Amino acid sequence: MIAELTKGYHRFRANRWPSERAEYEALAVNGQKPHTLVVACSDSRADPALIFDTAPGELFVVRNVANLVPPYQPDGKLHGVSAALEFGVNVLKVKHVVVMGHASCGGVTAMLKGSPANCQDFVAPWVEQGVPAVRRAVEGLAADQVECAAEEAVVRLSLENLRTFPWIAEKEAAGELKLSGLHFGIALGILSKLTGPGRFERLD
């Protein structure tokens, strides 16, 4: 598929680079100063830069299976999401952290139904952290409500875990950092925002 990537690169050079060259050059010299850190799913259908129609340098994006933020645990082990949060909040000093879930999330499906047999090394233990929250959220719901409720539960869980990081909690309490939860509906292109306990409302 390198040929497809090369074609995309050529389109970028022909169509975008000429108009954005000065912006890229300034970013190279002055460094990045993103205003928002986005924790999103790795799903290829839910790209934050496209959904928010942002320019280079505006977003610091962390993507993983099911847009999960694990709790604060500085144990010396490898924590990619936590490292990105620490850098984004403490070094880049973003003003906003957004957790964005999305419809038809395979990671959330794995929480509901179990991970694929060939994804037991890393995916299974990764999504396991979301299983209790998802099970609580979908208990007693009709079948057609389960998927969305589970996806929204993971967004809420990640926001809760963000607040276990002391330097995030401190900055939020001081009004220096805002946390938000969003959900993107792929088929309709609609973004919803967490506006209260258990309630997501469409952004118009």
More confident residue, 107 or 197: 107
Known binding residue 105? Answer is yes
Residues 6+ apart with CB under 8 A from 165: 72, 82, 85, 86, 89
Tell me how far CA of residue 118 lies from CA of 71, 110, 121, 170, in angstroms. Answer: 26, 12, 8, 41
Residue matched to tokens 């108009």: 19
Q: Please say whether the beta carbons of 64 and 123 come within 8 A.
A: no
Q: Please say whether the beta carbons of 43 and 105 come within 8 A.
A: yes
Residue 10 class from Cβ within 10 Å (0-12 exposed, 13-18 middle, 19+ buried)? exposed
Known binding residue 41? Answer is yes
Chain centre to alpha carbon of residue 34? 15
Residue type, 17: W
* Residue 70 DSSP symbol: P
Here the tokens at position 63 are: 């993507």
d(CA 176, CA 154): 25
- Does residue 198 surpass a pLDDT of 90? no
Residues 6+ apart with CB under 8 A from 201: 192, 193, 195
- Name the pairing type of β-strands 199-202 and 190-196: antiparallel
Known binding residue 102? Answer is yes
More confident residue, 137 or 196: 137
The CATH number of 32-202 is which of 3.40.50.300, 3.40.720.10, 1.20.1270.10, 3.40.1050.10?
3.40.1050.10
Mean pLDDT of 36-65: 98
- pLDDT tens-digit series, residues 144-197: 999 999 999 999 999 999 999 999 999 999 999 999 999 999 999 999 999 988
Residue ranges of the domains in the chain?
A: 1-30, 32-202
Here the tokens at position 93 are: 């000093």
Q: pTM value?
A: 0.96
